[in-house]
Structure 1
Amino acid sequence: MSTKKNTAASLSFAPNIVVAHRGAWKKNNLPENSIASLKEAVRIGCTGSEFDVHLTADDSLVVNHDAHYAGLTIEKSTYAELSATKLSNGEMLPTVYHYLKEGMQQTKTMMVLEIKPSTISKERGQYLAEKVVTLVKQLRAEPWIMYISFDYDILKKILELQPGAKTAYLNGEKTPEQLAADKIWGVDYHYAVFKKNNSWIADAQKLGVNLNVWTVNNAEDMEWFINNKFDYITTNEPELLFDLIDKKGR
């Protein structure tokens, strides 16, 4: 049996609700979505570390939040053009390949992979989803991955290519019943959506739909979602969330 298979078989994500948004970057002033911020999320014990994926003009998969990097539109630029500008800590702009390879060196923190909708076309978004799933399968990284997206069709494409994959929807307009009907694993909405649609929390829990919320950065909101028994809380302040959890003895 290969080392990869042995590692995957031993995965046991940290038993907490803390997902670092774009890695754990803020406290130590690390670049968002960097390998360094991923390593820090792992170091402090987050159960998950979220990151964002785009496709370049030459079909490279890269990790960056915005559709632009260093003044260039990612989808209209080559990786060589983009990587000419390094991150603030000297890292190269991460490829998804290298990001996943780093994340697979450990077994406590899952990688929450956000596929960004294409700014060019829906078809390009579908192609991006195919490229991502192909790479995940090539690396045998499936056990580490939760997929999230604002594009519902991207999530459906992932489930077509990787049945049973953990997928969660971000946009906020679909009910837990709609997600469950389409075999979407989780609801992952902005905190304001849940406060407006309070009944969706109980509906999701009754249906077995995983509950995640973003991006929760103050103690009062964190307390609210802890008390409502969310499975995950995505935050730019993972250290603060850990402090609150410790105080509550959760």
Structure 2
Amino acid sequence: MIKIVFSSNGVSRFCTLFLLLIIVACNKVNHTKVIAHRGAWKQENLPENSIASLKKAIALKCYGAEFDVHLTKDSIPVVNHDADFMGMEIEHSTYEQLLTKTLANGEQIPTLEAYLKEGLKQTDTKLILEIKSAPSGKERTLLLTKIAVAMVDNLQGKDMVAYICFDFDAGKLVHQLDSSAEVAYLNGDKTPKEALAAGYTGINYNYKVYKKHPRWILEAQDLGMSVNSWTVNKKEEMEILLHQNIDFITTNEPELLLTLLKKNT
């Protein structure tokens, strides 16, 4: 049996060294989280923005599932990436008209309400709601913003939903309607300070923006903002962002990113 005897000074030095080792170890842990872009759809060839792709993102235990929301002619918010659905312009079509066509897996186009209700059945994967800019202009975009925020509130989903948008005024409105909401700007033309001053809690810029402005990641984090990047599908780009300790990465390849994160832990 070996006895180790410390003097009071020795104990102090040992404790200091131990704390330093903990700090170094913690700094090596990557805390980047995975957001599945339009749900997790690619590997199983599921329709993007479908309930099925949402469920797959949840099954993978992604931090978040991103999805896109448009407003129909009769002011029903629906989940779809493009401004048209199966050749029908969403803004100029009623919800009933959109129901005449289905996704490849037989699903109908999800309403925002249906998507949120499905996502709110669990508490592991956050719902990242993108407010799409209306083709007709800002008035419809801001109407969609009001409807979306009210619906999240009515469904008691505030803790599980975060917002993203390209329209700068839409994000400002989200903050005005719900000062506790997480909302990130997508367009990449504002500095972190400018976004923060408008009420944004995060920036979510294309990978190329961070290549042009490499200091924005740390600058935003120092301001207490979250930092995300879209849409990052290549391993080498993921690894660069992981090295920069970005908070979130939005990707069409969540399985790949999850694998890389496991290797880095």
What TM-score do the two structures reach when normalised by structure 2?
0.87
Distance in 1, Cα, partners of 2:71 & 2:56 = 25
CA shift, 1:183, in A, is 2.4
Structure of larger gyration radius: 2
Please say if 1:247 is aligned against 2:263: yes
Residue pair 1:212, 1:230 contacting (<8 A) in 2 also: yes
Letter in 2 for 1:116: K
Equivalent position of 2:10 in the other structure = none
Deviations 1:138-196, CA, capped at 9 Å, x for gaps: 11111111100000100111111111210000000000011122221100000000011
Residue pair 2:39, 2:56 contacting (<8 A) in 1 also: yes
Please say if 1:124 is aligned against 2:136: no
Equivalent position of 1:175 in the other structure = 191
How many residues are matched? Answer: 235
Please say if 1:22 is aligned against 2:38: yes
- For the residue of structure 2 that corresponds to 1:147, the secondary structure is strand
Residue pair 2:203, 2:225 contacting (<8 A) in 1 also: yes
CA shift, 1:225, in A, is 0.6
Letter in 2 for 1:131: I
Please say if 1:45 is aligned against 2:66: no
Please say if 1:140 is aligned against 2:156: yes
- For the residue of structure 2 that corresponds to 1:85, the secondary structure is coil
Q: Which runs of 5+ in 1 are unaligned?
A: 1-14
What TM-score do the two structures reach when normalised by structure 1?
0.92
* Match of residue 243, structure 2, among 203, 224, 227: 227
CA shift, 1:111, in A, is 0.2
Distance in 2, Cα, partners of 1:246 & 1:196 = 29
* Match of residue 84, structure 1, among 100, 103, 111: 100
Residue pair 2:32, 2:249 contacting (<8 A) in 1 also: no
- For the residue of structure 2 that corresponds to 1:213, the secondary structure is strand
Output aligned runs, 1:139-218, within 5 Å.
139-218=155-234
Q: Which runs of 5+ in 2 are unaligned?
A: 1-30
- For the residue of structure 1 that corresponds to 2:193, the secondary structure is helix
CA shift, 1:16, in A, is 5.5
Residue pair 1:16, 1:46 contacting (<8 A) in 2 also: no
Percentage of pairs with the same residue: 50
Letter in 2 for 1:195: K
